Structure 1
Amino acid sequence: MKNLKKEFPVTSQYIHLNTAGSGLMSETVLDFRQEHDLDYLIQGSILKDKQGAFLAKVRETVGHFFHCESENVALVPNFSLGLNILLEGLPEKSKILLLKDDYPSINWPVTSRDFEVVFADIDANLEDNILQQVENEKPDVLCLSLVQYINGIMIDLNFIKELKAKFPQLLIIADGTQFCGVSDFNFATSGIDVLGASAYKWLNAGYGNGFFLFKESVKDLVKPRSIGFNSWGTKYKEEQSFIGKFEPGHLDTLAFGTLSVAIGLIKSVGIQNIETQVKHLKSKAKEEFSARDLLQSQVKNRTIHSSIFNITGDEKLFNKLREHKIICSKRGAGIRISFHYFNTEDDFNALLKII
């Protein structure tokens, strides 16, 4: 992996182990954003006349990167807004299976509506817990985060594919906010029906942009109610109004252009290179954290895990890490550490030294 300190200047000043909290801005993204706003300054509405074609290219970039047809890509300011639109389109009284203590932006929108809700526990046996609840409760929908934000437990994607094959009528909705950007993911061949994500974390695309990907069959199951002037007017929305229901208002070309450029940077680095680096760091981290008894048993006992870890540590340790310019987050009962491709073994060794 090439040295990325110039691309991500923050890494020259700090050891940033907090992508699970917020990704970084790259020089590549900054260059685009400056040029975009300069164009807006001197062109005004002339720039905005090109908005439809511009956003169509963004959809194509997102769709190509995640292996989804561009006409099934919706651009949303963040995951939460997209999920709320989606839930409004589900049949009333749907039974939805959630994970207990999953991210609030997943669970709260579901539990605040008049759905029948059941839960599966998040522990070392996560997949078995989900399967048991699907068999026993026969939910219409499974809605979950692919990676848990507090401790980094990651669902087995092969299990999701097998679950969908066994229960084809089960609508599977996934939040990829803590997942998208760390590995080569093929939405088309996954068992997931709907994948949504905010892009400010692992895609390093800044705030105000996200996306939803849909399998074609979802359009017959979900009937969103939202609509606005921007729900029409592009080739996608004239031919398929389903996507327009997720984009009722004007979209920000600065924000979504940033998403496209951020994906372009990932492609230039190489998603396989990124995946290799992240796997190396998370494998080393799990081994060393386990040896020091810093992880929960439910994490230590799983073979599949993300690059997010919640280690045992108090306020004193957290402040000590900050004093040494190691950026992380307090989450749950411990300290959340997360590794991305711009992190190095030197970063990890510096962390271990302080611990």
Structure 2
Amino acid sequence: MHNLRKGFPVLEQYTYLNTAASGLLPEKVWEFRQDHDLDFLLKASLLKENMGDMLTKVRESIGSLFICQPNRVALIPNFSYGMNSILESIDKPQKFLLLSGDYPSVNWPVESRNFEVVYAEINENLEENILKQIENEKPDFFAFSLIQYISGIKLNISFLKELKSKFPDLVLIADGTQYFGTEAFDFDDSGIDIALASCYKWMNAGYGNGFILFNERVEGKLKPKHVGFGSLQGKYKAHEGNFLGSFEPGHYDTLNFGSLKVAIDLIKEIGLSEIEARITELKDFAKLKFANAGLIDNWILERDSISPIFNICGNEDLYQKLRAEGIITSLRGEGIRISLHYFNNETDLGHLFNVLKI
């Protein structure tokens, strides 16, 4: 059994319940970053000569963790860059289905372009709303967050697989920024066509790194236009016009992407199954307490599965009270967002419950 709190010194100062805003930086990632920049200071271009090999290892680590062949893994600096790159690769006009109130970096880039857009409401009938809009509106693409950033509402992978089976021509584009790192995930078996994420939240990789996973069936539906010297550099990008290289046109920061590799190594060392089991214990415990206190909507509690993100009733005054007690959360929507990762424990939740008096 791992000591899941070891290597996160911030936990000695705070009750940190805010991974949905920013993940923690593990000591192992920090140590890599220290060593990397010392090497860069002393070696300059000699260090960067190995950039291609490092990025290949990062790509392969992502593919191994989430079950996607590395020649279908693109490295991006963040989700928003990747999302905009994908949208620029789609010929117009096309019709998009979005979720009302989804993360701005999902919806805004679609809405700012010349796409026809329809919406499904996020409520107790979420899956039915999605199905109805697809049947009635026949969109070409459905872009959505796997986990909603305000409410924590989660779309089950089983539902998405059924959706893809029923509507095989519909391209599913998933934002996994609030999802990847919380449970085991098999991309090739998910029904999702394109999955993107920034890795500074639940993967604890720091800022400036992310990835896109592509199903091979989407290449003919995207016409990426980005190109640069980086498009041909490294394994899996051997020729001009390479699909993967079109999403990686420039030089990449080995500090940030090396950090992602170390963070993935840590996830693999612990095991996604153990991480998932620990998160499940914590969120089930929290769910029961929040439900008994009437702090979250019943319909959210009744869903088949829930994420480790809760939005509880509370205002600025309560948020500041929690902060004064060393409990780190976020104000989101009309409440206070609580997010639980594997390094949290019952003592953290006990501190929260005591302050909330529940």
What's the TM-score, normalizing by structure 2?
A: 0.97
Query: Partner of 2:99 in structure 1?
Result: 99
Query: Partner of 1:194 in structure 2?
Result: 194
Query: Partner of 1:313 in structure 2?
Result: 314
Distance 1:149 1:87 in 2: 21
Whether 1:27 and 2:27 are equivalent positions in the alignment is yes
**1:1-355 matched pairs, under 5 angstroms:** 2-239=2-239, 241-355=242-356
Aligned residues of 1:62 and 1:73 also touching (Cα < 8 A): yes
Aligned residues of 2:291 and 2:298 also touching (Cα < 8 A): no
Distance 2:16 2:209 in 1: 22
Aligned residues of 2:51 and 2:254 also touching (Cα < 8 A): yes
Aligned residues of 1:153 and 1:306 also touching (Cα < 8 A): yes
Range with bigger deviation, 310-319 or 103-112: 310-319
Distance 1:294 1:3 in 2: 31
- Percent identity over the alignment? 54
Q: Which amino acid aligns with 1:313?
A: G
Distance 2:287 2:4 in 1: 24
Cα offsets for 1:310-351 (capped at 9, x unmatched) = 000112211111111000000011100000000001111110
Q: Which amino acid aligns with 2:349?
A: F
Distance 1:54 1:2 in 2: 28
Instruction: Give the superposition deviation at 1:5.
Output: 3.5
Instruction: Give the superposition deviation at 1:127.
Output: 1.0
Cα offsets for 1:245-301 (capped at 9, x unmatched) = 111111100000000100110111111110001011111111110111101244133
Distance 2:3 2:337 in 1: 25
Instruction: Give the superposition deviation at 1:241.
Output: 1.0
Distance 1:119 1:298 in 2: 21
Q: Which amino acid aligns with 2:296?
A: L
Instruction: Give the superposition deviation at 1:187.
Output: 0.3
Distance 1:2 1:186 in 2: 24
Partner SS state of residue 251, structure 2: coil
Aligned residues of 2:311 and 2:337 also touching (Cα < 8 A): yes
Range with bigger deviation, 294-303 or 203-212: 294-303
Partner SS state of residue 23, structure 2: coil
Cα offsets for 1:29-49 (capped at 9, x unmatched) = 011111111111111101101
Aligned residues of 1:188 and 1:215 also touching (Cα < 8 A): yes
Distance 1:147 1:124 in 2: 15
Aligned residues of 1:5 and 1:12 also touching (Cα < 8 A): no
Q: Which amino acid aligns with 2:337?
A: R
Distance 2:37 2:316 in 1: 41
Distance 2:208 2:310 in 1: 26
Cα offsets for 1:191-227 (capped at 9, x unmatched) = 1000000000000000000000001111111011111
Partner SS state of residue 236, structure 1: coil
Q: What is the CA RMSD across the aligned residues, in angstroms?
A: 1.0
For structure 1, list consecutive stretches of 5 or more residues without a partner in the other structure.
none
Q: Which amino acid aligns with 1:196?
A: L
Cα offsets for 1:33-66 (capped at 9, x unmatched) = 1111111111110110111111111100011001
Distance 2:233 2:315 in 1: 54
Distance 1:54 1:75 in 2: 12
Q: Which amino acid aligns with 2:167?
A: F
Q: Which amino acid aligns with 1:68?
A: C
Q: How many residues align?
A: 355
Cα offsets for 1:121-153 (capped at 9, x unmatched) = 111221111111111111000000000000100
Partner SS state of residue 331, structure 2: strand
Distance 1:152 1:298 in 2: 13
Partner SS state of residue 241, structure 1: coil
Q: Which amino acid aligns with 1:332?
A: G
Distance 1:138 1:284 in 2: 41
Partner SS state of residue 280, structure 2: helix
Cα offsets for 1:80-124 (capped at 9, x unmatched) = 000101001112011000000000000000000000000001112
Partner SS state of residue 188, structure 2: coil
Q: Which runs of 4+ in 1 moved over 2 A?
A: 1-6
Aligned residues of 2:52 and 2:235 also touching (Cα < 8 A): no
Partner SS state of residue 197, structure 1: strand
